[in-house]
Structure 1
Amino acid sequence: MKRNRFHIKFQLNGVSFSSVDEIITFASIFSDEIHQFLKNWFSDDPYIIVKTSGSTGVPKDIKLQKSKMINSALATGAFFYLKENTTALLCLPTEYIAGKMMLIRALTLGWQLDVVAPTSFPLRGIKKIFDFSAMVPLQLENSLNSLNQIKKLIVGGGVVSKQLENKILNTTCTVFATYGMTETITHIAVKRLNNFSSIERNTSMKSLQKGFYETLPNVEIYKDDRNCLVINALEVSNEVIFTNDIVNLVSETQFEWLGRFDNVINSGGIKLHPEKIEEKLSEIISKRFFVAGIPDSTLGEKLVLIIEDSYTSNEVEVSFKLKINQLKALTKFEIPKEIYFVTKFIETETNKIQRNKTLDLIK
């Protein structure tokens, strides 16, 4: 990695630079974390050490090639038509890959990047218009009134609920859900969540269909014998990645995500995908929740609903059951047999729900 490897148009918080040392020195003024990352990025080491989120296992440090990270940045720029002088907002923590990649995209593509603290209200007090940003669902939820300040937004780190999808239908900001992981250097596919009638200049985005993920350039996908997604993306990973994500392949470049293989519930011989059931339930449940299977002497596993709520009563439970039974989107097998309330879900460091550990609270 050459020390002078950055785009001449790159700006950080409105400041331009003529050397790597200037960038590193400037970063030291406002963020120790970004300062340290940039020192590592511009070092002669061909790798960067990145921490995984821990959402699908124990958090761990992995080595990512800098050249692969640059390839990922180039793919994002090409797919979303984000060229030099793109104005972008970094409001994610740079401790993890999503935040790091916003910096690398800006450095590689010549963006004008503004950095703000990674809070739950990233647009609070900001009046500027941005071409691009990345958020988690909670940040999106808390930015609805200001969302028109962003032209294109990618959302990762959690599922965007149906209720939240409905809230972004009338915004001019085009919002995309992302599919990816640390090992694939963030997203390798995106799903448009709104503005389906808008016409894009970039032909790669015209094929995006409602409900399906579209792969970025140079990504090959197929399924293994478990119906789980397999990713062959040599531009960002030296290895073929076998995931635990059950998918329906729509085309060579599109897939529908059905849920995690390790979350599948076998209830009386019927295989249930919790994530698809949760998508339907999110229309009527505003609090955090998830569904899971617990042992049952008759069914093997029975479907249960766990809701994060500190206040519960028989009336509340009856109300939930009534709403669920009236939800036409659910099949009879997808109706939870029991409802449990937990005061506080157990989470990972990145605030993702740890299902199994939370489930232990009701046993």
Structure 2
Amino acid sequence: MPARLVALRLPPERFLDELDRVWSDGDAVLPLSTTAPAATLQRTLRALRPALLRRLDDAGDLVDEPLADAPPIADGTALVVATSGSTGQPKGVVLPHEVLQASTAASTARLGCEPGERWLLALPIHHVAGIQIVLRSRALGTEPDVTPPGGDDLGDSEAQHVSLVPTQLTRLLEAGVDLSRFRTVLLGGARPEPALLDAAREAGVPVVVSYGMTETAGGCVYDGRPLDGVEVDVTGDGDGRIRVRGPLLATGYRTRRGTQPLVDEDGWFVTGDHGRLRQDGTLEVFGRVDDVIVSGGINVPAPTVASALRTHPQVLDVAVAGRPDPEWGEAVVAVIVPRDPDAPPTLDELREHVRREYPASYAPRDLVVVAALPRDAMGKLPRAAVKLLAE
């Protein structure tokens, strides 16, 4: 019987049981969020075309819904993970078992994990980072501990390792949670601010900063150094696009006609991020290549402006985007969450704050104050949503 793609929309405990069942049948898994809106779910199903949707009904029983028009899936495929990237359009990253095994082995070796140690699952199971926690645990002969829903309460787990995103780490530090009890706090999902890393290390948190994406089966660079077997390069001279080569790369993207290749003829996957290689060989990641606002003919990197604004004492969270402007082409807009909703900073205060360190062109020309930013479960900000807020 040909391999099928089975979509699982289940809470973590049930998901793990069904993951084993699907894999033992020789099929592949499409993990789905249990909290995503119905429109998002349907958009993902239409784009990635699984053969079956397995979910819980209102009584808590498993239900299988056969779906029509499912393209074939290659034997040996473990996962097809939905990623929206910067466009919001679902893409299915095809990850074979051998790629996941290579990633797990390289990760546990670099972190010095010992047999019998456990990982705490505090990330969404429908992301590759969440599934990697399961695989690392099993490689050590254990099962992961699972946090309460939300991922911001680590409970009383005695696990030795945990993966977090910067938003979680920020909240846990502010809540006074003792993270020094872990042997590893693997931090990924988004580029952390230097101030956050300083605060964590001052609190004795053993942070390891991970860089990677779904296409690299999760983190493939730890603290700037590629995992064993992984090559990292930067295109062009000096700053450029980051590219990756090695056994941790996905096969490609799932389409109606099969799998669209991921790598070029030399085996390189060219990411959408830009960075540089320092003199000591470590990788420094700047952010998305296309996350640049062209204002008055000057390229203004949005992540740099956001980092500057985040150091303002009245700013709790911030995003930066461009808004069409008849004079400047694009205007830099700051979308902020104030620490005190009743006393947000003014635009003039924020402009002056940015100009202390960066050119005047980096200073925001407009300000939007919101109660919260639309971060996803991995702490990332969909740029389409931020742009709508800015406009």
Q: TM-score range by the shorter chain?
A: 0.7 to 0.9
Work out whether 1:87 is the aligned partner of 2:118: yes
Task: Name structure 2 gaps, 5 residues minimum.
Answer: 1-9, 28-75, 252-262
Instruction: Specify the SS of the correspondent of 1:271.
Output: strand
- How far apart in 1 are the matches of 2:287 and 2:148? 32
Counterpart contact for 1:86–1:111, Cα < 8 Å: yes
Work out whether 1:97 is the aligned partner of 2:128: yes
TM-superposition CA deviations, 1:69-116 (whole Å, max 9, x none): 000001101111113222321222222211111111122243563233
- How far apart in 1 are the matches of 2:11 and 2:380? 31
Counterpart contact for 1:73–1:104, Cα < 8 Å: yes
1:17 aligned partner: none
1:70 aligned partner: 101
Counterpart contact for 1:51–1:96, Cα < 8 Å: yes
Q: Spell out structure 1 runs of 4+ moving beyond 6 A.
A: 310-313
| 100-109 or 222-231, larger mean C-alpha shift | 222-231
Residue 229 (structure 1) aligned to one of 216, 223, 242: 242
1:257-336, aligned counterparts within 5 Å? 257-284=285-312, 286-308=315-337, 316-318=344-346, 321-322=348-349, 324-326=351-353, 328-336=356-364
Compute the RMSD of aligned alpha carbons. Answer: 3.0
Q: In 2 relative to 1, CA 106–176 (structure 1 residues): closer, same or farther, beyond 3 Å?
A: same
TM-superposition CA deviations, 1:38-63 (whole Å, max 9, x none): 22344434212332342433233332
Counterpart contact for 2:216–2:249, Cα < 8 Å: yes
Identity of aligned residues (%): 22
Scaled by the length of structure 2, what TM-score is found? Answer: 0.70
Aligned residues: 311
Work out whether 1:160 is the aligned partner of 2:173: no
Which amino acid in 2 is paired with 1:222?
D
Counterpart contact for 1:267–1:300, Cα < 8 Å: yes
Work out whether 1:341 is the aligned partner of 2:373: no
Instruction: Specify the SS of the correspondent of 2:316.
Output: coil
1:142 aligned partner: 171
Counterpart contact for 1:221–1:252, Cα < 8 Å: no
TM-superposition CA deviations, 1:114-165 (whole Å, max 9, x none): 23334233323x062x331101223223333221221211122234334433
Q: In 2 relative to 1, CA 182–118 (structure 1 residues): closer, same or farther, beyond 3 Å?
A: farther
Work out whether 1:214 is the aligned partner of 2:225: yes
Instruction: Specify the SS of the correspondent of 2:308.
Output: helix
Counterpart contact for 2:165–2:379, Cα < 8 Å: no
- How far apart in 2 are the matches of 1:189 and 1:29? 29
Q: In 2 relative to 1, CA 98–179 (structure 1 residues): closer, same or farther, beyond 3 Å?
A: same
Task: Name structure 1 gaps, 5 residues minimum.
Answer: 1-27, 192-212
Instruction: Specify the SS of the correspondent of 1:173.
Output: coil
| 303-312 or 63-72, larger mean C-alpha shift | 303-312
1:14-25, aligned counterparts within 5 Å? none
Which amino acid in 2 is paired with 1:47?
T
1:50 aligned partner: 80
2:283 aligned partner: 255
1:245 aligned partner: 273
- How far apart in 2 are the matches of 1:170 and 1:309? 25
- How far apart in 1 are the matches of 2:276 and 2:12? 45
